[in-house]
Amino acid sequence: MEAVTGPWKQLLLNALESNSHLRHSSFFQLATVGLNGRPSNRTVVFRGLEENTDKIQIHTDYRTHKIEELRHCPYAEICWYFTDSWEQFRVNGKIDILDESNPDLNKVQQREKSWYASSLKSRLQYLGPSPDLPCLSELPDQEFLDHSTGPVGAFCLLVLDPDQVDYLNLKSNQRIKFTSGLSVNGEKCWTSQRINP
Protein backbone atom coordinates (compact mmCIF):
# COMPACT_ATOMS: atom_id res chain seq x y z
CA MET A 1 0.00 0.00 0.00
CA GLU A 2 1.40 3.40 -0.96
CA ALA A 3 1.55 6.02 1.77
CA VAL A 4 -0.66 9.09 1.56
CA THR A 5 1.40 12.13 0.60
CA GLY A 6 0.58 15.69 1.48
CA PRO A 7 -0.89 18.08 -1.10
CA TRP A 8 2.03 20.42 -0.32
CA LYS A 9 4.55 17.89 -1.70
CA GLN A 10 4.05 18.99 -5.30
CA LEU A 11 4.58 22.63 -4.28
CA LEU A 12 7.90 21.59 -2.72
CA LEU A 13 8.95 19.54 -5.76
CA ASN A 14 8.12 22.51 -8.02
CA ALA A 15 10.17 24.85 -5.80
CA LEU A 16 13.11 22.44 -5.85
CA GLU A 17 12.92 22.21 -9.63
CA SER A 18 12.62 25.95 -10.28
CA ASN A 19 15.50 26.71 -7.89
CA SER A 20 17.70 23.74 -8.82
CA HIS A 21 20.27 25.99 -10.53
CA LEU A 22 21.04 27.51 -7.10
CA ARG A 23 23.33 25.33 -5.01
CA HIS A 24 21.97 26.70 -1.75
CA SER A 25 18.43 25.52 -2.54
CA SER A 26 19.30 22.08 -1.15
CA PHE A 27 20.01 23.54 2.33
CA PHE A 28 17.46 24.28 5.02
CA GLN A 29 17.38 25.00 8.74
CA LEU A 30 16.48 22.27 11.22
CA ALA A 31 15.29 23.38 14.64
CA THR A 32 15.05 21.03 17.60
CA VAL A 33 14.35 21.53 21.29
CA GLY A 34 17.62 21.71 23.24
CA LEU A 35 18.05 19.76 26.46
CA ASN A 36 17.88 23.11 28.28
CA GLY A 37 14.43 23.77 26.72
CA ARG A 38 15.76 26.43 24.36
CA PRO A 39 15.60 26.35 20.55
CA SER A 40 18.53 24.67 18.83
CA ASN A 41 18.93 25.45 15.12
CA ARG A 42 21.37 24.50 12.37
CA THR A 43 21.64 24.25 8.59
CA VAL A 44 21.44 20.77 7.06
CA VAL A 45 21.35 19.28 3.57
CA PHE A 46 18.21 17.90 1.95
CA ARG A 47 18.90 14.25 1.09
CA GLY A 48 15.64 13.51 -0.67
CA LEU A 49 12.19 12.27 0.13
CA GLU A 50 11.60 8.74 1.33
CA GLU A 51 10.32 6.74 -1.62
CA ASN A 52 6.56 7.11 -2.26
CA THR A 53 6.09 9.34 0.79
CA ASP A 54 6.44 12.97 1.83
CA LYS A 55 9.00 12.15 4.55
CA ILE A 56 12.14 14.31 4.38
CA GLN A 57 15.57 12.70 4.75
CA ILE A 58 18.61 14.26 6.45
CA HIS A 59 22.06 12.78 7.12
CA THR A 60 23.86 13.53 10.36
CA ASP A 61 26.62 12.32 12.62
CA TYR A 62 25.30 10.20 15.49
CA ARG A 63 27.72 11.96 17.85
CA THR A 64 26.14 15.43 17.40
CA HIS A 65 23.94 17.19 19.97
CA LYS A 66 20.88 17.00 17.71
CA ILE A 67 20.66 13.23 18.25
CA GLU A 68 20.56 13.68 22.02
CA GLU A 69 17.96 16.44 21.59
CA LEU A 70 15.79 14.33 19.29
CA ARG A 71 15.95 11.37 21.67
CA HIS A 72 14.67 13.70 24.40
CA CYS A 73 12.01 15.32 22.14
CA PRO A 74 11.51 13.84 18.64
CA TYR A 75 9.62 16.86 17.28
CA ALA A 76 11.36 19.35 15.02
CA GLU A 77 10.72 22.04 12.44
CA ILE A 78 12.51 22.82 9.23
CA CYS A 79 12.47 26.18 7.50
CA TRP A 80 13.31 26.23 3.80
CA TYR A 81 13.43 29.41 1.74
CA PHE A 82 13.81 29.36 -2.04
CA THR A 83 15.36 32.64 -3.13
CA ASP A 84 14.43 32.57 -6.83
CA SER A 85 10.76 31.70 -6.43
CA TRP A 86 10.33 33.53 -3.09
CA GLU A 87 8.74 30.52 -1.41
CA GLN A 88 9.07 29.45 2.20
CA PHE A 89 8.18 26.06 3.65
CA ARG A 90 7.99 25.57 7.41
CA VAL A 91 7.57 21.87 8.05
CA ASN A 92 6.73 20.49 11.52
CA GLY A 93 6.88 16.84 12.36
CA LYS A 94 8.36 13.95 14.25
CA ILE A 95 11.84 12.66 13.41
CA ASP A 96 12.74 8.99 13.30
CA ILE A 97 16.43 8.26 13.99
CA LEU A 98 17.83 5.44 11.86
CA ASP A 99 21.18 4.48 13.36
CA GLU A 100 23.20 1.27 13.43
CA SER A 101 21.26 -0.08 16.42
CA ASN A 102 17.91 -0.06 14.60
CA PRO A 103 16.63 -3.68 14.33
CA ASP A 104 14.00 -2.99 11.61
CA LEU A 105 15.29 -4.57 8.38
CA ASN A 106 13.51 -2.01 6.16
CA LYS A 107 15.13 0.84 8.09
CA VAL A 108 18.53 -0.87 7.95
CA GLN A 109 18.19 -1.07 4.15
CA GLN A 110 16.98 2.54 3.96
CA ARG A 111 20.02 3.71 5.95
CA GLU A 112 22.37 1.71 3.71
CA LYS A 113 20.76 3.11 0.56
CA SER A 114 21.26 6.66 1.88
CA TRP A 115 24.87 5.91 2.79
CA TYR A 116 25.74 4.69 -0.69
CA ALA A 117 23.82 7.57 -2.33
CA SER A 118 26.07 10.15 -0.64
CA SER A 119 29.42 11.27 -2.01
CA LEU A 120 32.74 9.84 -0.85
CA LYS A 121 33.65 13.22 0.66
CA SER A 122 30.43 13.22 2.65
CA ARG A 123 30.98 9.64 3.88
CA LEU A 124 34.55 10.43 4.98
CA GLN A 125 33.23 13.09 7.38
CA TYR A 126 31.80 10.35 9.59
CA LEU A 127 35.28 8.91 10.18
CA GLY A 128 36.64 12.12 11.70
CA PRO A 129 36.92 13.05 15.36
CA SER A 130 33.76 13.57 17.41
CA PRO A 131 31.95 16.82 16.61
CA ASP A 132 31.70 19.54 19.28
CA LEU A 133 34.93 18.50 21.04
CA PRO A 134 38.10 20.66 21.07
CA CYS A 135 40.32 20.15 18.03
CA LEU A 136 43.53 18.44 19.17
CA SER A 137 45.41 18.52 15.87
CA GLU A 138 46.13 21.22 13.29
CA LEU A 139 46.21 18.68 10.48
CA PRO A 140 43.26 16.43 9.71
CA ASP A 141 43.93 12.70 9.82
CA GLN A 142 43.89 10.93 6.48
CA GLU A 143 40.99 8.52 6.74
CA PHE A 144 40.45 5.36 4.72
CA LEU A 145 36.99 4.15 3.82
CA ASP A 146 36.40 0.54 2.83
CA HIS A 147 33.82 0.77 0.03
CA SER A 148 32.78 -2.86 0.49
CA THR A 149 31.36 -2.27 3.95
CA GLY A 150 28.12 -0.49 4.75
CA PRO A 151 27.55 2.66 6.78
CA VAL A 152 29.99 3.45 9.57
CA GLY A 153 28.64 3.67 13.13
CA ALA A 154 28.57 7.48 13.23
CA PHE A 155 26.34 7.72 10.13
CA CYS A 156 22.73 8.41 10.97
CA LEU A 157 19.68 8.94 8.76
CA LEU A 158 16.99 11.24 10.11
CA VAL A 159 13.51 10.95 8.62
CA LEU A 160 11.09 13.81 9.28
CA ASP A 161 7.44 12.73 9.04
CA PRO A 162 5.55 16.01 8.47
CA ASP A 163 2.30 16.70 10.29
CA GLN A 164 2.01 20.41 9.52
CA VAL A 165 3.33 22.55 6.67
CA ASP A 166 3.11 26.33 6.48
CA TYR A 167 3.64 27.42 2.86
CA LEU A 168 4.26 31.07 1.96
CA ASN A 169 4.67 32.43 -1.56
CA LEU A 170 5.84 36.04 -1.43
CA LYS A 171 5.47 36.59 -5.20
CA SER A 172 1.76 35.73 -5.20
CA ASN A 173 1.21 36.86 -1.58
CA GLN A 174 -0.35 33.48 -0.84
CA ARG A 175 -0.10 31.45 2.35
CA ILE A 176 -1.53 27.99 2.90
CA LYS A 177 -1.46 25.91 6.07
CA PHE A 178 -1.54 22.13 5.57
CA THR A 179 -2.40 19.96 8.58
CA SER A 180 -2.47 16.19 8.85
CA GLY A 181 -4.90 14.13 10.85
CA LEU A 182 -6.36 10.66 10.89
CA SER A 183 -9.33 9.61 8.79
CA VAL A 184 -12.19 7.53 10.23
CA ASN A 185 -10.34 4.34 9.21
CA GLY A 186 -7.13 5.51 10.92
CA GLU A 187 -5.16 6.56 7.83
CA LYS A 188 -3.21 9.81 7.59
CA CYS A 189 -5.05 12.53 5.68
CA TRP A 190 -4.34 16.20 4.97
CA THR A 191 -6.46 19.36 5.08
CA SER A 192 -5.46 22.78 3.80
CA GLN A 193 -6.56 26.31 4.56
CA ARG A 194 -5.59 29.59 2.96
CA ILE A 195 -4.57 32.06 5.63
CA ASN A 196 -3.42 35.67 5.60
CA PRO A 197 0.32 36.09 4.86
Q: Which domains does the chain have, with CATH numbers?
A: 9-131+148-195 (2.30.110.10)
Rounded mean pLDDT, 54-58:
97
How far apart CA 111 and CA 100 sit, in angstroms, is 8
Q: Decide: 46 and 58 in contact? Cβ < 8 Å.
A: yes
pLDDT at 132: 76
pLDDT above 90: residue 69:
yes
DSSP code per residue over 4-71:
P--TTHHHHHHHHHHTTTSGGGGEEEEEEE-TTSSEEEEEEE---BPTTS-PEEEEEETTSHHHHHHH
Share of the chain above pLDDT 70, in %: 92
Q: Could you count the other beta carbons within 10 Å of the beta carbon of residue 37?
A: 8
pTM, two decimals, is: 0.90
CB neighbours (10 Å) of residue 194?
10
Q: Which residues, including other chains, have CB under 8 Å from residue 163's CB and lie 6 or more apart?
A: 92, 93, 94, 179, 180
pLDDT of residue 71: 97
Buried b (16+ CB within 10 A) or exposed e, 72-89: eebebbbebbbeebebbb
Average pLDDT, the chain: 91
Please give the Cα distance from 28 to 22 (Å, whole number). 13
Q: What angle do CA 14, 15, 20 make, to 5 degrees?
A: 100
Residue 1 has pLDDT above 80, yes or no: no
Residue 125 three-state SS: helix
Cα(160)–Cα(25) distance, integer angstroms: 18
What is the pLDDT, as a whole number, of residue 150?
Answer: 84
Could you report the per-residue pLDDT of 139-162, keeping only the tens digit for each? 555 566 666 678 999 999 999 999
**Distant-in-sequence, close-in-space partners of 41: CB < 8 Å, separation ≥ 6:** 29, 30, 31, 32
- Give the DSSP H or E segment for 175: strand 174-182
